[in-house]
Amino acid sequence: MVADTVVAFNGLGVRYGRVDAVQDLSLDVATGEVVAILGRNGSGKSSAVRALLGLLRPSSGSARLFGRDSWRERARLMARVGVVPERLDMPPDLTLTELARFYRRVSPRWDDVAVTERLERFRLPADRPFGRLSKGQQRQGALALSLGSSPELVVLDDPTLGLDPVARDSLYQEMVGDLADRGATVLVTTHDLAGIEGLADRIAILSDGRLLLDETVDDLKSRWRRVRGILAEGHDAAPVEAALGDLGAEAVGHTGRVISGRFARFDAAVDGRLATIPGLAEAATESMSLDEIFRALCGEGGA
């Protein structure tokens, strides 16, 4: 763990009875990074976040914030963290104005001006009871309140859950415009792969409680490529598909004369050899979206 590490999972294990929700998770997040944790339902994302926030005791290993154990020192550490949980637990009868007043009393670095500006940008009715706000308004309000103490780390657990496209875009614009500009460290779990693709620096994928992948978005997208080509006249598809498979292509197939596949380890050497495959004409590669990569790794069930 380096000096500027904000989040550190060190061999973290979380068990519920006989079920291992998280197994041997080791992952660091450095100052200023935006890291997204992805995984299908039940992959262990929320359990890892709850351990990080000191809400449950690890069964093994540890979760640390700013170099300190989250479970043992939660009270002092959470003053430096802003959180938007998956399930919002704001008192439904209190308005955003009243909630902000409460937060001000317990947050030593509370910024009233910044909170008011965010509420206005979101066009939120600050004097309406929280329970009467729409789901999108509740999440936008929770984000505004979580940032009111100028946290060094922002933890967002599925922040766009249940939001319509307009509310989702507004929330992501706030995250990009505010958090990135001031260099805040962000850890986010999400099902919204399209939205997070342009925001995250790094992607970590959990599967059955274990870390499947930890990689920068740029590196991930550069090595995952889709290839398409045309079967030349007089050639059978089977030898061409086999040749693509020999180069490392997966999910190879053809529709009519169009042959396609995907590469999980694409590089310049593979690119150069595509042109040498007999019977494959007009071969071209293209980037895959984060959603396509995720589905290739974790199945078609989605995040």
Q: Domain-by-domain residue ranges, the chain?
A: 5-220, 225-287
State the average pLDDT over residues 297-302: 71
* CATH of range 5-220; options 3.30.920.30, 3.40.50.10490, 3.40.50.300, 3.40.50.720: 3.40.50.300
**pLDDT tens digit sequence for 9-66:** 999 999 999 999 999 999 999 998 999 999 988 899 999 999 999 999 999 999 999 9
**pLDDT tens digit sequence for 102-128:** 999 888 889 999 899 889 988 999 999
**pLDDT tens digit sequence for 251-275:** 999 999 999 999 999 999 999 999 9
Percentage, residues of the chain above pLDDT 70: 95
* CATH of range 225-287; options 3.30.70, 1.10.3470, 3.40.1800, 1.10.287: 3.30.70
Least confident range from 30-39, 62-71, 153-162, 199-208: namely 153-162
State the average pLDDT over residues 218-228: 94
Task: Name the band, by pLDDT with cuts 50, 70 and 90, for residue 287.
Answer: very high
- The overall average pLDDT reported for the chain is 90
Q: Are 225 and 266 in contact (CB under 8 A)?
A: yes
String of DSSP letters for 210-276: EEEEEEEHHHHHHH-EEEEEEEPTT--HHHHHHHHHHTTEEEEEEETTEEEEEESS--HHHHHHHTT
Alpha carbon distance 275, 188 (integer Å): 41
CA distances for 198 relative to 36, 84, 261, angstroms: 11, 20, 25
Task: Name the band, by pLDDT with cuts 50, 70 and 90, for residue 158.
Answer: confident
Alpha carbon distance 243, 181 (integer Å): 47
228 has a pLDDT exceeding 70: yes
Task: Name the band, by pLDDT with cuts 50, 70 and 90, for residue 1.
Answer: very low
Closest by CA to 179, choosing from 199, 160, 204, 165, is: 199
Task: Name the band, by pLDDT with cuts 50, 70 and 90, for residue 204.
Answer: very high
182 has a pLDDT exceeding 80: no
- What tokens were used for 55? 């809400």
Return the higher-pLDDT residue of 191 and 177. 191
What predicted TM-score, i.e. pTM, was given to this entire model?
A: 0.87
